[in-house]
Amino acid sequence: MSISMYQASIPPIVRTLTNLRAILEKAAAHAEAKKIAPSVLINSRLYPDMLPFSRQIQIATDNAKGAASRLAGIEPPKYEDNESTFLELVARIDKTIALLETFQPEQIDGSEDKTISLPMRDKTLTFKGQFYLLEYALPNIYFHVTTAYAILRHDGVEIGKQDFLGKLS
């Protein structure tokens, strides 16, 4: 049985980003209720050599828009990476979800064997579409969303596994 690349990409990524948005809203409410400057949470890290919370959101959304765009054969849009408030981070997530919702199955289905080139700082990674989605893009999105979740949980935001997973239908 072949996989629908659209079904394996867009719906789970949108779901994950939607859940991340809800987590950000809980973090903003937590900061307000506890009288914590939002910048404390936004700049928080699990360890000094790790990227801060805001960067986790930026990278997760970059991977999301990049995956869909590359599978569809179009150039991913560029974002400025200058968000410094919860509202700006939520807006970035909303913008990414809105972009993802513009993709149609026929743009992404059939991309299993498409060559995907991903320029990095010092080299270019090359994948086949299905491997790129399942072994690179989705794990990267989940890693950065999980790290963002862990940073907030570590900082006392009352979120749990159900917040990460969202409503199961």
Per-residue pLDDT of the chain (169 residues; tens, 9 = 90+): 577 999 999 999 999 999 999 999 999 999 999 999 999 999 999 999 999 999 999 999 999 999 999 999 999 999 999 999 999 999 999 999 999 999 999 999 999 999 999 988 999 999 999 999 999 999 999 999 999 999 999 999 999 999 999 988 7
Q: Give the E-state strand segments of the chain in sequence order.
A: 115-119, 124-128
Crossing angle (nearest 10°) for helices 86-100 and 5-33: 160
Domain ranges of the chain: 5-165
Contacts of 102 (CB under 8 A, 6+ apart): none
Phi and psi torsions of 125, nearest 5°: -90, 140
The rounded distance, in Å, linking the Cα atoms of 24 and 134 is: 26
pTM, two decimal places: 0.95
In this structure, which topology does domain 5-165 adopt according to CATH? Four Helix Bundle (Hemerythrin (Met), subunit A) (1.20.120)
Q: How far apart are CA 113 and CA 71, in angstroms?
A: 10
